[in-house]
Amino acid sequence: MKSSTRSEPKEEEVYVTWSSPSRLFKKRDKEFFVNILAIVFLLSVILVFVREFVLIATVLSIVFLIYVLSTVPPEDVKHRITNLGIESAGHFYRWEEFADFWFDEQWGQKMAVLRPFMSPRIIILLGDQKSEKIREFIAQHIPFREEPDRTWVDNAARWISEKIPLEKPQA
């Protein structure tokens, strides 16, 4: 006769469900693409002289990716917060995987940023959900940060975007 040492699995309880775009999206104007193409042309000329053809192909593929992400709107995906974890776009993340979370805003879109222990950040757009409501449910399981730790990459990206704007600021 064996005794069971494993605890019974918890039954899933859904706290909140909503839909939002799968990624950040901002429709870009002609000025943005003209600036990008001018920078890529100058960079390509330099790279031709140093015979870095693979690097030219890499730069062109990145520009193509930027073009596609700026012109094709994202699809809507479903998100669920439960007592067991978060499901976003068909991927389920257990609470034990996360170190902390915070809220951020970019291009007028609010998002929850969850930082796992061993993988890249997970960004979930809130859509029409209130951040206070989402915070209430997530903070029951993982710590909330008012301000995240900024890495040197975050600081460098912010500095470059301020110093070299590719389009006029929105009024």
Coil, strand or helix at 124: strand
Question: What is the reported pTM?
Answer: 0.68
Q: pLDDT grade, residue 6 (50/70/90)?
A: low
For residue range 153-168, list pLDDT tens digits in order: 877 878 877 777 666 6
Query: Using alpha carbons only, what angle is made at residue 44 by residues 38 and 46, rounded to the nearest 5 degrees?
Result: 110
Distance CA 24, CA 171 (A): 20
- Please provide the size of the chain in residues: 171
Read off φ and ψ for residue 11, nearest 5 degrees. Answer: -85, 135
For residue range 118-145, list pLDDT tens digits in order: 878 888 888 888 888 888 888 888 888 8
Asked if residues 66 and 32 have their Cβ atoms less than 8 Å apart, the reply is no
- Cα–Cα nearest to 122, from 105, 108, 102: 102
Read off φ and ψ for residue 110, nearest 5 degrees. Answer: -85, 145
Q: pLDDT grade, residue 58 (50/70/90)?
A: very high
pLDDT at 167: 67
Asked if residues 36 and 63 have their Cβ atoms less than 8 Å apart, the reply is yes
Average pLDDT for the chain:
83
Q: pLDDT grade, residue 57 (50/70/90)?
A: very high
Asked if residues 34 and 171 have their Cβ atoms less than 8 Å apart, the reply is no
Give the domain ranges of the chain.
14-21+74-145, 30-73
Q: What CATH number does the domain located at 14-21+74-145 have? A: 2.30.29
pLDDT at 11: 82
Asked if residues 145 and 41 have their Cβ atoms less than 8 Å apart, the reply is no
